[in-house]
Amino acid sequence: MAVLPILTYPDPRLQRVAEPVIDFGQNFQTLVDDLLATLRVSAHGVGMAATQVGVLQRLVIVDVSSKANIKHHGLQVLVNPEILDWQGFASGREGCLSVPDYIGTVIRAKKIQLKAQDRHGQWREYAMEGYEARAVQHEIDHLDGKLFLDRLVSKKRDLMLRQFI
Amino acid sequence: MKHWYMLTLVGKDQPNIVAHTTRLLYQAGCRLGEANMNRLGGSFTVMLMVEKTLPKTALKALLQPVVERFNLSLHVVVIEGDLHQHQIPNICVRVHGADRAGIVAQVTSALAQKGFNILELCSDVGGSQEQPFYILQIEGVATAPLEELQQALADLRDVQVEISAIDACIM
């Protein structure tokens, strides 16, 4: 397993759209292991997309189990993930290993229904919420060439909305 | 460490203040740092970091056309840049209620006694002239536990106070 260098903004490769994974062979398994190793050594990271290490394949890993008192599915390798449905919206703070020294407020769906293949190509469905749902939405954005910087909202506007919604 | 100016401009809100100000600075070769610009009431306020490449008097002279055109107050001080050293707030305090004098003083004094360091504060006055309400949001770094901060603000019974941990999701 190798720890891969993480691309940082404004590297243009972060804004490219990733291709679906078709081949789940040895090269792909090595990529999954390398991505896991890279996430493990990253400070406070709870997820990573292959795009962040310069590989344009639709692969993300998420593991929010380090957060106390939240629902989660543990470490998940999500290949070709698709959000089937979402409910509610909540603002929250996000940072990104590819955008150092910056944290911003982003609105995401509170709950999502997700379909994804595992590292061996088996399709699975997930119901995710809260922190885990936020992490998955953030990572899927990477696969579509989007950063949380593209979704920032004004904190002041968020403050006003909280009073009226 | 690089030194910068902190430039503040205040005046009656009108279009083009930002464009004119930043164009003058750009044309003079100035580099900008972090900025916060807001309409507060009927005024527009600019707080802007400008890299210290000109003497202070030259910077003020450079901005004189925009000061005169928009009738602005200009203030310039030398600061240390400290860019790329963002502090991450871990606590958010939201307060809202019928507007009255003293809300900000009471909230911030109580927090200060607990060693709370304010990184950002913004407030708004909503409602109507007859029934104004005040909304205050503070983010900062607390070393005291959340429960201790809640206790410190428990005496503020005429306003709603919500204190929550800010849990930034790093992905």
The domain that contains B157 carries what CATH number? 3.30.70.260
How many domains, chain B? 2
Flag if A101 and B84 touch (Cβ within 8 Å).
yes
Residue range(s) defining the domain that contains residue B159: 91-165
pLDDT at A162: 54
Please identify among residues 73-132 of chain B the ones whose CB lies closer than 8 Å to any CB of chain A: 84-86, 88, 94, 96, 120, 122, 124, 126
Q: How far is Cα of residue A139 from the mean position of the Cα atoms in its chain?
A: 2
Q: How confident is the model at residue A62 (pLDDT cuts 50, 70, 90)?
A: very high
B96 in the same domain as B47: no
Residues B64 and B99 both lie in one domain: no
Query: How far is the alpha carbon of B96 from chain A, nearest alpha carbon, in Å?
Result: 9
**Biggest CA pair distance of chain B:** 53
* pLDDT per residue as tens digits for the range A68-102: 888 999 999 999 999 999 999 998 989 999 999 89
Provide the 10 A C-beta neighbour count for residue B131: 9
Indicate whether B96 belongs to any domain.
yes
Q: Domain ends where: B33, B52, B80?
A: B80
Where exactly are the structural domains of chain A? 12-164
pLDDT tens per residue across all 171 residues of chain B: 678 999 999 999 999 999 999 999 999 999 999 999 999 999 999 999 999 889 999 999 999 999 999 999 999 999 999 898 888 899 999 999 999 999 999 999 999 999 999 999 999 999 999 999 999 999 999 999 999 999 999 999 999 999 999 887 788
Amino acid at A146: K
pLDDT band at A66 (very low <50, low <70, confident <90, very high): confident
Q: Are B48 and B26 in the same domain?
A: yes
The one-letter amino acid at B29: G
CB atoms closer than 10 angstroms to residue B10: 14
Q: Are residues B135 and B96 in the same domain?
A: yes
Looking at the structure, do residues B53 and B7 belong to the same domain, yes or no? Answer: yes
Task: Tell me what pLDDT residue A165 has.
Answer: 46
**pLDDT at site A155:** 66
Would you state the pLDDT for residue A156? Answer: 63
- Residue-wise DSSP of B32-96: EEEEEEEEETTEEEEEEEEES-S-HHHHHHHHHHHHHHHT-EEEEEEEE--TT-PPPP-EEEEEE
Residue of chain A whose Cα is closest to the Cα of B169? A94
How far is residue A95 CA from its own chain's centroid? 11
Q: Kindly state whether B63 is in contact with chain A, defined as any CB-CB distance less than 8 angstroms.
A: no
Strand partners, B122: B137
Q: Residue B73 burial (CB < 10 Å; 0-12/13-18/19+)?
A: exposed
Residue A43: pLDDT band with limits 50, 70, 90: confident
- Residue A161: band (very low, low, confident or very high) from pLDDT cuts 50, 70, 90: low
| Chain B residue with minimum CA distance to A100 | B84
Nearest residue, CB atoms, B171 vs list A94, A159, A162 = A94
Q: Which pLDDT does position A159 carry in this prediction?
A: 56
Instruction: For A97-122, list the strands marked E by DSSP.
Output: 99-117
The share of chain A scoring above pLDDT 70, in percent, equals: 93
Please say which residue of B80, B114, B145 terminates a domain: B80
Give the integer Cα–Cα distance in Å for B95 and B156. Answer: 10
B85 within a domain of the structure (yes/no): no
Chain B residues in contact with A160 by the CB 8 A cut-off are 124, 126, 135
Q: Nearest CB to B86: which of A43, A102, A134? A: A102
Shortest Cα–Cα distance, A151 to chain B (Å) = 15
Q: Is B65 found in the same domain as B8? A: yes
Question: Is A139 considered catalytic here?
Answer: yes
Decide if A103 contacts A95 (C-beta within 8 A).
Answer: yes
Instruction: Give the single-character DSSP code of A18.
Output: P
Residue A125 carries which side chain, given as an amino acid letter?
Answer: E
Looking at B21, B46, B80, which one is the last position of a domain? Answer: B80
Q: Which CATH class is domain A12-164?
A: alpha beta
Helix, strand, coil proportions of chain A in percent (round to 5)?
30, 35, 35
pLDDT at position A32 over 50: yes
Distance CA A71, CA A48 (A): 19
